Structure 1
Amino acid sequence: MAQITEEIDYEALPENASLSASLLAGAFAGIAEHAIMYPVDSIKTRMQILQPTPQAVYSGVINAVSKISTTEGAKTLWRGVNSVILGAGPAHALYFGTYEYAKDAFGGNGIGHHPLAAGTAGACATIASDALMNPFDVIKQRMQVHGSVYKSVFDCATKVYKLEGLRAFYISYPTTLTMTIPFQSIQFATYEYLRKVLNPTGVYDPLTHITAGGIAGAVAAAATTPLDVAKTLLQTRGEATDVRIRNCNGLFEAFKLIYQRQGLAGFAKGIQPRILSHMPSTAICWGVYEYGKWFLSRNNADQHPINMH
């Protein structure tokens, strides 16, 4: 009697894998994605501020790194990272768990290309995860702005709640969804398409996942930058001294204010660091996630070998 293991199909997590094990791949991917590229995200936030202080005006990413490191210290680029780490794990676990379930339900795991199924699954995933992540993202951006006086994530959360109420943590949620739904739809559809084009056999190939993920992240980031500028305005409005900014209540008001103050160019603010951040972070995210799926599937196959008589 010979005993061999079943050929591993890692494309979907194994059916008998535990829910916690399945979601763990997404949690690790989310933390890796956000934490590694956090300094670039900090620069992006500062470049998108509608009313920056004179000390926080930058001509580009290199200039921002140099100026912040020299005047405020390199540690400043990491302010608020704890908020991302706290929120990214559970939010991305929910994100990828929802994506896998929805993609399968919409027929995205079938043979051939299914960009609509992948895009729709991505939209479902982001609606769920953003509801959990939005307050953490608000805290993160409040701590990233120049002159932030918050000592910790908890300090920021309690002071914002005390001064502005619970609404401050969700004022940007509709705008976030308006941005992230197309972002994730574009990203997932692009990723799934490129993954199948670059690797038609479907075997685990890290280079394919990193390349497809990086390109997908760059395309989606560039396309949704105007919405990200509006989101940053809404999430940091409480730190502004300008009355109109502080009282801005939604996406259309934010768009109107940005256009009045900075014209069409205002909607492209931060596009360079946004692409520089999302391209490697999305590549990292997909690389870690696909590895997690492969690893879990491999272990599952090792534990459940097929007996051949």
Structure 2
Amino acid sequence: MDQIAAMRAFVRVVEAGNFSRASDLLDMPKPTVTKLIQQLEAHLRTRLLNRTTRRVGVTPDGAAYYERAVALLSDLDEIDASMARSQSSPSGRLRVDVPSSLALYSLIPALPDFFARYPDIRLDLGVSDRPVDLLAENVDCAIRGGDLLDPTLIARRVGEVRLMLCATPGYLQTYGTPLHPRDLEAGHRVIGYFSARTGRRVAFDMERGEERHELDLPYFVAVNDSTAYLAAGLAGLGITQTIEPMVTPYIESGALVRVLPDWHSAPIVLHVVYSPNRHLSSRLRVFVDWVAERFAGGGAYRPGQGAIQLPVQP
């Protein structure tokens, strides 16, 4: 027995005064309404209605049940309506973790658009290059680049990004301009980047056609945050390999110069990840969809207008 359907049928019969009118209001065949009432009475082990050839009356038990059923069905309708409203206008708090470079150069500058669409959502942004434990730290979702190390997470690919080698004009004037990746091993300074999770330093990765080089170069300074990495490059401490949208404004301004422009890194794939144990609420769903839209357009990473820029050494 569908108890909710039976309760709705019972309430309509009481209010209509007969089965025929109730079946019309419910858009349901009269025999179906009759069967539902019979099943409900059998379930409750009591008679709810007194039936005559002209009218249906309510028993004392039926009158008491009617009052409770009307209240319960009203609450159920309100729950359904509130859920429908939440789907059309999501609200509440989302805890999101984002790498520094993505936060400063794409996500945060684009947030006015997100809040214009979803003004009732509150975002708590964790901004760092440290991978978080989504469950242990109660994070709804995270944006991550590169290989996914946790196969238990649900991942949605949203785009990709490449790295560029850059240095300041002052550095190149002092140390010269490399013409081939192997030149970096001869007298050049590089800025190292090491994983905040493992402490392992990331090698320089460069390819041109079929030729590929992965160089684990000596360094004078290394950091584990992408924003600090860019700051070290802008300070003229050495050559960096930084995501393209992050350095583009500085190349355009002349603060940085691209090194080995004919060489590229393998693309880094970007994903939005969340735990399979995390309920995909309407607010989480619209945020994931918005991020995918943000990084759409041929799968490329799109820097935002008004990206936050770091001060440049004079």
TM class, shorter-length? under 0.3
- TM-score, structure 1 as length reference: 0.22
Greater Rg, structure 1 or structure 2?
2
In proportion to residue count, which structure has more helix?
Answer: 1
Higher relative contact order (CA 8 A, sep 6+): 1
- TM-score, structure 2 as length reference: 0.22
